[in-house]
Structure 1
Amino acid sequence: MKKTLARWAQDIWYKDQFIGVWLCPLGFLFCDLVRFRSFLYRLGVLKKQSVPVPVIVVGNITVGGTGKTPFVIWLALLLKEAGYKPGIISRGYGGLSESWPQRVDQNSIAEQVGDEALLLAKQTACPVVVGPVRVDAANLLLAQTDCNVIVSDDGLQHYALARDIEIAVIDGERRFGNGYCLPAGPLREPIDRLQGVDFRIVNGEETEDNEHCMQLIGDSAINLATGQQKSLKDFRAVECHALAGIGNPERFFNLLASVGVSCTTTSFPDHYKFERRDIEFNDDKPVLMTEKDAVKCAAFADAQYWYVPVKAVLEQGFSEQLLNLLKAKNNG
């Protein structure tokens, strides 16, 4: 049922303009409510809370995947290389823990803390705290670690936490769909919200003015059971299955196709909670999946299953711009 609803919504937002038009009144109402909430924060009726270290918020204004998680990993590693001690806070979407906020480490269980949070902890080796209230997550992070800069993953709409730098990640292929707010379109906030962010990062495709290009690079596969690593090109000689439970599964499938890997594809809703039967295809063909999906499948996967890690590569000069702005905010 969830898979059907997700596909129906995607078709409306990115393909079928007609139904989206009929839902426009609801989209306009959603936009007005979003703008009014933002106005209340600017007015001080709703209070923002500050923390004693710089906060960099990374998010998007659309529902679904834009490549935000690989960018957060890239950003955390950049900050570490520059001498900072970054910590990461996130919603922990899909996590079933009964207590929040909660620390995440490489041994945490995705079902409890969420797939993206576990992936962030594994890839960055930074302290990670998850919870629905970003301020509480930030305070726990500061109480238990010596981090001196916080990266808030998917925190663009969480105005209660004051921030120093805002970064919006945009899907370069799908952009903003039909341009309508929920439920008529994929927008969480009106497009003019982007005028207030410090940086706009576009995942693939061509960029427009005031946007920075990011490419996701993946050329190898790692076995879930054995840890063996192979070049993706080695899979061109065999028929494969490919599955993805991310915001834009087609981006992963296109990556495989771009290196000549022929796959039968199966897509699932973002943050899908996989079970063994979901990834069984009753044959011996290799099964390729994203790294985000792999953290949820590792417990029941065997040597037939492989994940494809991707790395964000930013255009030349962006790192310096970001670090200079952070330095200026620190000295301000």
Structure 2
Amino acid sequence: MLFKAQKILSPILAPISKGYGAVMARRADKYSSGEYERFRPECPCISVGNIGSGGSGKTPIADWLLKWAEREGLLTVLLTRGYGAKPAQLPYLVNILSPVHEAGDEPLMLANSNSQAKVVVDPVRKRSGAWAEQEFKPGLMLLDDGFQHMAVERDLDFVLLTPDDFTHGWDKVIPRGTWRESVQALQRADVFFVKSSPDAFRRMHWLIQEKLAQLGKPVFQFELKAKGLRLLGGGERLDFGSEKYLLFAGIGKPEILREDAGKDMGRAPEEFIIFKDHHAYTAQDVESIRKKAAATGAKRIVCTPKDAVKLTELGCEDFYVIDLEVEFKETIFFDDTEDAPFDKWWNKQRLTDALKK
């Protein structure tokens, strides 16, 4: 619906979008020239962000990097604004006991799955960065959703794109489209990621070449693969089974979840309930979900990890959570680098090399 409206109103929205893109470009120039103050971490810093809005997979990539850093013995701080969070104080250090309304759903999810990392919520990330550096002396700092947040200097910009970004969404800046900056901003990127299946990525190969070849930066495909289910109340990973199920989610681009769940579970859900992204679940929501599951004969109620962190105090221990893992397979290099998926290409030396730029 939104896309159709933007297309119809394109002649009116185009000049507004052009003006917005110009404002963002001037802002970036002021940061790069030193006119605007920036915080420079003493440790290596990676930004994980995107050019558009929502649904590109920033949180799973940040989670993968946190786990990689722990394996490498690097204490990592992740700086996030914590969308929708209402912290008791700022900066706010998230832990597994943090109330979700204080921490935010994605920060709490990252803290729960990366107990050794320090997840810090604060909309002013140069403040939280300075505080975290003094408190923890980290070996690595990550900026969540940081591509447009230039008040913190970074050594690498990881920029995520969706398949839509390469087609009807290409260089369509707010309000004409979903992009936060114009296409020239992609020149700041060091690594690109595309969230898609390997087959879809291969079909897009020519389009990626056309759009990104002149930038000369590697492009890595990734997807979230469901490995099974877990009870929200805890326990081992379970097989998907063949029982009827109800699916619900409050995430960006839920239609992709429905399609993937149908493949993984071997059948479509009896009911798919969509809540707005970052939805704060209530007891009434849970009651409604249970009633719809009973009415449709669904034996299992299934949600995502992002939803699960907001349901722990609502008596949902019998709900099932999709157990997701990031998988990398395809890649495009625009030089003579030997093809390798991101998890084989990325290493500590590449992080060290970034500091020499």
Same fold (TM over 0.5): yes
Distance change >3 Å, CA 181–CA 242, structure 1 → 2: same
How many Å separate the matches in 1 of 2:341 and 2:232? 36
SS at match of 1:243: strand
2:250 match:
245
How many Å separate the matches in 2 of 1:144 and 1:155? 22
The percentage of aligned residue pairs carrying the same residue is 24
2:147 match:
156
Contact 2:91 2:128 in 1 (8 A): yes
1:203 match:
195
SS at match of 1:41: helix
Cα deviation, residue 78, structure 1: 1.3
How many Å separate the matches in 1 of 2:235 and 2:167? 38
Check if 1:189 corresponds to 2:181: yes
Q: Provide Cα deviations, 1:156-200, integer angstroms capped at 9, x if missing partner.
A: 111111110110112235657533111221111112322221100
Check if 1:92 corresponds to 2:109: no
From 25, 45, 54, give the equivalent of 2:44.
Answer: 54
Check if 1:172 corresponds to 2:163: yes
1:267 match:
274
How many Å separate the matches in 1 of 2:168 and 2:220? 20
Contact 1:14 1:174 in 2 (8 A): no
Runs of 4+ in 1 over 4 A off after TM superposition: 173-177
SS at match of 1:231: coil
Check if 1:130 corresponds to 2:104: no
SS at match of 1:218: strand
Q: Any unmatched runs of 5+ in structure 2?
A: 210-217, 330-339
Cα deviation, residue 229, structure 1: 3.5
2:57 match:
67
RMSD between aligned residues: 2.1
SS at match of 1:327: helix
SS at match of 2:311: helix
Check if 1:277 corresponds to 2:307: no
Contact 1:61 1:189 in 2 (8 A): yes
Q: Any unmatched runs of 5+ in structure 1?
A: 1-10
Contact 2:25 2:185 in 1 (8 A): no
How many Å separate the matches in 1 of 2:88 and 2:181? 30
Q: Provide Cα deviations, 1:236-269, integer angstroms capped at 9, x if missing partner.
A: 332x211111111112111111121321112122
Cα deviation, residue 14, structure 1: 7.2
Check if 1:296 corresponds to 2:320: no
Cα deviation, residue 295, structure 1: 0.4
How many Å separate the matches in 2 of 1:44 and 1:303? 51
How many Å separate the matches in 2 of 1:265 and 1:306? 14
How many Å separate the matches in 1 of 2:227 and 2:327? 13
How many Å separate the matches in 1 of 2:5 and 2:320? 32
How many Å separate the matches in 2 of 1:268 and 1:16? 23
Distance change >3 Å, CA 81–CA 21, structure 1 → 2: farther
2:328 match:
314
1:5 match:
none
